[in-house]
Amino acid sequence: MSTERGRLMARTRQRTPAEVALIGRHTHQRSVVLKALIRADGFVGAQALHAQLAANGTPVGLSTVYRTLTRLADAGRADLVRDAGGERLFRYRPGPDHRHYLICTECGLSRPVDSGPIEDWADAIAQDSGFANVRHTVELSGVCPDCG
């Protein structure tokens, strides 16, 4: 198959329901944001991702970046933490598994941590309270060995 034909098929193929749920209505801008998040090293804020796209000559509005990142987090395809200043930072999640991270407050290094005990605790609270669809946020931060 020629490269041009392959590109045309990729642009015109029907998106699966999962892909639509992931980023909503397909637009070039949303695809660009998703690809940039996948390529990002660790957690990244919407403004930093927007600046990176602009520096690469990719015109995507800041509000589109925010909406796409929020949609990805809501769909369970991006992990979300807040930095010390309260900014929301996102990291692409390739699978459905919910993860927790330990984040260096100096350099931003992030490491996934064993969250089994946290998940067990949250499940127990939900069962004891009778609540359904219980969600939680756990943020762990400190100074990594390289920065310490």
pLDDT tens-digit profile of 58-103? 989 999 999 999 999 888 889 888 887 889 999 998 887 778 889 8
Question: The whole model's pTM is what?
Answer: 0.69
Better pLDDT: 20 or 58:
58
Residue whose tokens read 């509000």:
63
Confidence band of 123 (pLDDT split at 50, 70, 90): very high
Give residue 5's Cα distance to chain centre.
31
Distance CA 17, CA 55 (A): 32
Distance CA 100, CA 111 (A): 8
- Sign of the torsion angle spanned by Cα atoms 61, 62, 64, 68: positive
- Angle at the Cα of 108 (from 64 to 54), degrees rounded to 5? 30
- In this structure, are residues 93 and 99 in contact, taking their beta carbons and an 8 Å threshold? yes
